[in-house]
Amino acid sequence: SLSLSFGMKPSASVQIEISGNLYQETSSGDGQYDAFMKALRIIYDKLGKDLPLLTDYQVSIPPGGKTDALVETVITWNHDGKEFRTRGLDADQTESAIKATEKMLNIIENKKNTLTDRSLTRATYEI
């Protein structure tokens, strides 16, 4: 879950499934997405796994978009010297970024496993 209160730092409680095992962590950050990433990084640090480095973050709303428009987030990552991009689409900017991040997690976890399951990693969050 993601929380934001006036005068307080945003926080995120993240529950993630990696290869059938559930992990949970909570963190605060400078924004909701920062809090989400910090909680995720704590989980990966405890597992001794490296997370890709976020190198670029682009948000766009289609031309003519209204207040209920979908937001597209494209995140560029660097992992083991290789760059790749993931895309998220949602009416909420933070959820769009989290969806792009979930795709990144599936990419890196699928590379490490020989399983054919395309959804090894699932992040649970609420806004």
Which parts of the chain have pLDDT scores under 70? Answer: 1-6, 65, 112-127
pLDDT at 115: 42
**d(C-alpha 31, C-alpha 113), whole Å:** 32
**d(C-alpha 57, C-alpha 1), whole Å:** 22
**d(C-alpha 118, C-alpha 2), whole Å:** 26
**Domain ranges for the chain:** 2-124
User: Nearest 5°: CA angle at 77, between 74 and 78?
Assistant: 160
CATH topology (fold) of 2-124: Double Stranded RNA Binding Domain (3.30.160)
pLDDT at 2: 57
